[in-house]
Structure 1
């Protein structure tokens, strides 16, 4: 039987590398672990640490095609980050000019959550535990 341990990483292709790098490192506060430029592909790859467990790979490619992500397009729906205090998390990203949706309550768990978008309009969720 196949045994999967956990998610290893999530890969995101951005349209503006500098803007996305600033968003993920300065706005969300993720730690940059390694950054490389792959000359043969004219592409950057930035490895970002999330809570000492998971990794996000941020890629740049010349002229990546747009991918529909809203309202309910097929494919990855959103990226969710667990937070201890959603009010503090929302205030932190709002201070950088990021607009968040009103905080909602998960009807099944009773937990609070909200959505906002990265520079490429990728839906991101904060989910309070």
Structure 2
């Protein structure tokens, strides 16, 4: 029945700040950007390594997303990375703090978290 994950949609509170975070800091590529006048909403389609994966939306006055304590719904967005230290250093240079590195008890792989501009947890999981 299911073939693959087609995309993930995120609603942001500040479109320009989030667009910059996902494109300039995380390096996602812009596929398409449209402004939908009837909704007063931007929609930004983003790809990773040529694969369409993320839609970033803006809407007027969206409610704040609870991240802590953890709430029902999407818990976090995870990206596989080649080198965890290099990824953390990149974020640190941009004044984005990372949590301490942890080890997945089942896979023995290392991972950490940062937060996007709206406090959505972003996980970096080492390949």
TM-score over 0.5 for the pair: yes
Provide the alpha-carbon RMSD of the alignment. Answer: 1.0
Aligned with residue 52 of structure 1, among 40, 50, 53: 50
Unaligned runs of 5+ in 2: none
Aligned with residue 37 of structure 1, among 35, 38, 41: 35
Q: Does 1:24 align with 2:3?
A: no
Distance 1:52 1:106 in 2: 28
Q: Which residue of 2 aligns with 1:108?
A: 106
List, as ranges, runs of 4+ consecutive aligned residues in structure 1 with deviation greater than 3 Å.
none
Distance 1:41 1:74 in 2: 26
Give the TM-score normalised by structure 2. 0.96
The number of equivalent residue pairs is 127
The residue correspondences of 1:1-129 to structure 2 (distance < 5 A) are 3-129=1-127
What is the deviation of 1:96? 1.1
Deviations 1:29-66 (CA, angstroms, capped at 9, x unpaired): 11111100001111000011023234110000000012
Contact 2:77 2:122 in 1 (8 A): yes
Unaligned runs of 5+ in 1: none
